[in-house]
Chain A
Amino acid sequence: MTLLFERYIERRVEGELTRDARQLIADLSIDAAGGLVIGNEPTDPRFRDPRSGLYWALSTAGHELKSRSLWDERLPASDLADADDWSTRVVKGPFDQQLLIVERLVQPRRNGAKVLVQLAVDHATVRDARRDFGLDLATYLLLLWLILAGAAWVQVELGLRPLARVRRELELLKSNPAARLRADHPAEIQPLTDAINELAEAREKDLAAARRRAADLAHGLKTPLAALSAGSRRAREAGAIDEAEGLDRAIATATAAVNAELARSRVATIRNAVQRVRSPALPVIEQVIGVVERTDFGAERVFEVEVPESLVVPAAPEDLAELLGALIENAARFSRRRVKITGEGAPTACRLAIEDDGPGLGPQRAEQVLSRRGRLDEADSSTGLGLSIARELVEATRGQITLGAATLGGLRVQIDWTLGH
């Protein structure tokens, strides 16, 4: 671009020089002695200042006329032979200046002497103009680049903002298979979110199917396990005591694994539920007591229930039944006479507590029972599977379980939930 500009400037300078030269030629005459005479000198004051960078010169074989600005120097000689047209060249001239010279041979009189007309300008003016232009251009281009880069950044940032939201929602989807991307995304990325949602749908179905299969498998194994147990008893009666004991150990291990799998499946289902359901606690408590008081140990216990009818807890009725079933059965098993269930609710929190009058757990033992993490099948038989399952269920419903000493003398299991999420 600067080259183009330089050529343009040069053409303009040449144009100006040629115009001045034509004026010189117009005023040029040759006297009788062959001397060069000029009527009016060009008016540009730079022609009068020595070394000004703007010069003119007229010369024949014997005479010479030049601008004052040349002082005692002269313009470089020319080897021009052609009188027809103006020619231009850049050469080193006087005062160590690089000169742009426009020159032509003219013949004022027919068959008279030829006069060399030269006008020169310091080429540095062109170079300076080019440099200034280059600087201006660079500044302008830099500014333009900055503006364009900024605009591009803004465009990308604004354009990709919906994708960032998709990414955040995908994070949620990763931790909760039941979550979905929202439907209010821009139309451009709607096909993408629809496709992701379909994928999530398929994934959730697969997960649910897998969980169901695991649960069905676990249930399906129970009757064969009972049959195996029958086989073991027959073996024992036939005198094969060792074989029977081996079988019993295997059955016990398989049973523990099956029960753990069922509990895990339930816990996973609760954990992945999108909607946090709430259910009234009292009916479930009474139903569970109805079952426990039919068992041989439960039949002899007194169940005291001090739970307000209005109390709701953040769990589905069937999950609450599972949780309370485990805890109340456990309490009934270890109590002497009495099992007490209390509940209280506030707008932001609720609490259930199950106490018994049995031997209780020491603080150290309680710590041990609760610090076991996610290992249902290794649960200690002395406290039953109950407390481990209960802890998993409480945590799945985002509650907190604490063990302590009951006022009745035995174990107190307390569950706290925070409401309002």
Chain B
Amino acid sequence: MRALVVEDDPSVAADVANSLRSAGFVVDVAADGEDAWYRGDTDEYDVVVLDLGLPRLDGLSVLKRWRASDRVMPVLILSAREDWTEKVEGIEAGADDYLGKPFEMAELIARARALVRRAAGRASAVIQMGRLTVDTRRMTVSVDARSIRLSPLEFRLIDYLAHQQDRAVSAGELAEHLYGATESSDTNAIEALVTRLRRKLGPGLIATRRGFGYLIDGNAT
């Protein structure tokens, strides 16, 4: 697993790099924004730990440039500022997680691993179902070429339904898939999740087949 640590404070950078190495990562360190942008643009990383306050080019701009040039590696933002407005900006610029300074190193490692795990096993495939497009590599969904932001849980549900093609999937099966085998009876959360997804994607795309469950109807309007 390769990780890029972008941090201008040498002491913090060394600490994060060492801890990630101990956790099994191969780590590169960039100390300014331009160096970071170049490395992220040319090398393949499984995760990037990105500080926002950087010399030469600020972290948010680096992230926007990567995303604009289709670099989809998971990015964990590290910032001294912990305003929610800034967190929102970070996430909307394409970050996958956000950690405020000072932080527990164990938490940073755990979150970096979670990001890698989430991104791993993504089949490099795009599933097209009528108006709906599911990009399993970038973990994005679009309806009529309009990109829709989904939470990881929401994406997993859509991804699962998309892989079943025309088969209706019961709430119990979805709960089992999303939460594990012991939780198949908890279907309230699934219903709430489907309601929220329908609001985001538009009505009709997730159809209910009475007595059987949910399925994607890509041609619904």
Chain A residues packing against B (C-beta within 8 Å): 219-220, 222-223, 225-231, 233-234, 251, 255, 259, 262, 287-291, 293-296, 298-305, 317-318, 321-322, 324-326, 337-338, 340
Add 20 more A-B contacts to A229-B103, A233-B105, A299-B118 (CB < 8 A): A223-B12, A226-B9, A229-B15, A229-B102, A229-B105, A287-B88, A290-B91, A291-B87, A291-B91, A293-B153, A296-B97, A298-B151, A302-B153, A302-B189, A304-B195, A305-B196, A317-B85, A318-B84, A322-B85, A325-B87
The answer, among B88, B103, B110, B186, for a CB contact under 8 Å with A226, is: B103
B126: interface (CB < 8 Å): no
List B contacts of A325 (CB < 8 A): 84, 87
Q: Give CA–CA (A228, B11) in the complex, Å.
A: 8
Chain B minimum-CB-distance residue to A335: B189
Q: Give CA–CA (A262, B189) in the complex, Å.
A: 36
Give residues of chain B (74-103) contacting chain A, Cβ–Cβ below 8 Å.
80-85, 87-88, 90-92, 95-98, 100-103
Chain B minimum-CB-distance residue to A288: B84
Secondary structure call for the A interface: helix
Chain B minimum-CB-distance residue to A227: B11
How many residues on the B side are at the interface (Cβ–Cβ under 8 A)?
A: 45
List B contacts of A290 (CB < 8 A): 88, 91-92, 149, 151
Known contacts being A229-B105, A305-B196, is A294 close to B15, with CB within 8 Å? no
Interchain CB contact under 8 A, A337 and B87:
no
Identify the interface centre among A220, A223, A226, A337: most chain B CB within 10 Å of its CB: A226
List B contacts of A337 (CB < 8 A): 179, 186, 188-189
List B contacts of A304 (CB < 8 A): 192, 195-196
Interchain CB contact under 8 A, A233 and B102:
no
Q: Give CA–CA (A304, B199) in the complex, Å.
A: 10
What is the distance, in angstroms, from A266's C-beta to the closest C-beta of chain B?
8
Q: Give CA–CA (A405, B172) in the complex, Å.
A: 27
Closest 9 CB pairs of A and B: A230-B15, A293-B151, A325-B84, A222-B80, A337-B189, A227-B11, A321-B84, A225-B102, A222-B101
What is the distance, in angstroms, from B201's C-beta to the closest C-beta of chain A?
14
List A contacts of B103 (CB < 8 A): 226, 229
Interchain CB contact under 8 A, B152 and A299:
yes
Chain B residues packing against A (C-beta within 8 Å): 9, 11-12, 14-16, 19, 53, 80-85, 87-88, 90-92, 95-98, 100-103, 105, 110-111, 114, 118, 149, 151-153, 179, 186, 188-189, 192-193, 195-196, 199
What is the distance, in angstroms, from B152's C-beta to the closest C-beta of chain A?
4
List B contacts of A298 (CB < 8 A): 151
Interchain CB contact under 8 A, A294 and B95:
yes
Chain A to chain B contacts (Cβ below 8 Å), 14 pairs = A222-B80, A230-B11, A290-B151, A291-B88, A291-B91, A293-B152, A294-B91, A299-B151, A299-B153, A321-B84, A322-B85, A325-B84, A337-B188, A338-B189
Known contacts being A304-B192, A338-B188, is A294 close to B98, with CB within 8 Å? yes
Q: Give CA–CA (A324, B193) in the complex, Å.
A: 20
List B contacts of A321 (CB < 8 A): 83-85, 88
Interchain CB contact under 8 A, B80 and A302:
no
Q: Give CA–CA (A251, B80) in the complex, Å.
A: 15
List B contacts of A251 (CB < 8 A): 102
List A contacts of B53 (CB < 8 A): 223
The answer, among B14, B83, B111, for a CB contact under 8 Å with A230, is: B14
Interchain CB contact under 8 A, A226 and B101:
yes
Interchain CB contact under 8 A, A302 and B196:
yes
The answer, among B83, B97, B105, B195, for a CB contact under 8 Å with A294, is: B97
What is the distance, in angstroms, from B73's C-beta to the closest C-beta of chain A?
15
Q: Give CA–CA (A88, B97) in the complex, Å.
A: 121
Chain A minimum-CB-distance residue to B22: A237
Interchain CB contact under 8 A, A294 and B96:
yes
Chain B minimum-CB-distance residue to A306: B195
List B contacts of A295 (CB < 8 A): 97-98
List B contacts of A326 (CB < 8 A): 84
Interchain CB contact under 8 A, B193 and A302:
yes
List B contacts of A288 (CB < 8 A): 84, 88
List B contacts of A296 (CB < 8 A): 97, 110-111, 114
What is the distance, in angstroms, from A221's C-beta to the closest C-beta of chain B?
8
Interchain CB contact under 8 A, A223 and B88:
no
What is the distance, in angstroms, from B62's C-beta to the closest C-beta of chain A?
18
Interchain CB contact under 8 A, A291 and B84:
yes
List B contacts of A225 (CB < 8 A): 101-102
Interchain CB contact under 8 A, B83 and A223:
no
Known contacts being A288-B88, A338-B188, is A234 close to B80, with CB within 8 Å? no
Interchain CB contact under 8 A, A223 and B85:
no
